[in-house]
Amino acid sequence: MSTTYYALFHCLARNCADTLVGKSRAHRSGPAWRQAYRALEHKHAREQFSGKTIRKFTPEIQNLADAFVDMQRKRHRADYDPAGRWSKSDVVEDIDNAADAIEDFNAATLQHRRAFAVFVLLKNRNP
């Protein structure tokens, strides 16, 4: 469960860095890219994805956000609840769902993925 969650987390972190700083190593600042990648916060992302504003994004982006929230909850249970158990079929299903969410997300337009990166990384100071 932890690995499945972290696949979603790192997909999102890479998207933030690639869309805001640049995908090509030859045409980007390495330190800036790493800073953007590492700026993603687990709690802030979950809070953003649990709000109403997420519904303004495309279905591909909403699906990744929904999978992220679901898998973060399961990761916490897997990592911190000694009684937490899943069947192999449940784990395989979650892996498949996460892989589908990542594939669909990566197919979204650059414009939408960039707006999503700003949404998840930067705090909105307007109510």
- Collapsing DSSP to helix, strand or coil, 21 comes out as coil
Residue 127 lies in a domain: no
Q: Which residues have a Cβ under 8 Å from the Cβ of 32 and sit 6 or more positions away?
A: 21
Range of the domain at 60: 2-121
Question: Average of pLDDT values for 51-72?
Answer: 95
In a domain, 101, yes or no: yes
- Residue 59's pLDDT band, with cuts at 50, 70 and 90, is very high
Give the pLDDT of residue 85: 86
Higher-pLDDT residue of 127 and 74 is: 74
The answer to whether position 75 is within a domain reads yes
Residue 64 falls within a domain, yes or no? yes
Task: Kindly report, residue by residue over 81-102, the tens digit of the pLDDT.
Answer: 888 888 899 999 999 999 999 9
Domain count across the chain:
1
Question: Is the confidence at residue 67, as pLDDT, over 90?
Answer: yes
Q: How would DSSP label each residue in 81-114?
A: -TT----HHHHHHHHHHHHHHHHHHHHS-HHHHH
Residues 67 and 12: their CA atoms lie apart, in Å, by: 12
Predicted pLDDT of residue 124: 81
| pLDDT-derived band at 125, boundaries 50, 70, 90 | confident
Q: Could you report the per-residue pLDDT of 2-58, keeping only the tens digit for each?
A: 999 999 999 999 999 999 999 888 888 999 999 999 999 999 999 999 988 999 999
Residue 46 within any structural domain of the chain = yes
Domain contains 12: yes
- Rounded to an integer, the average pLDDT of 107-118 is 97
Q: Is the pLDDT confidence value at 127 over 70?
A: no
Q: For the whole model, what pTM was predicted?
A: 0.92
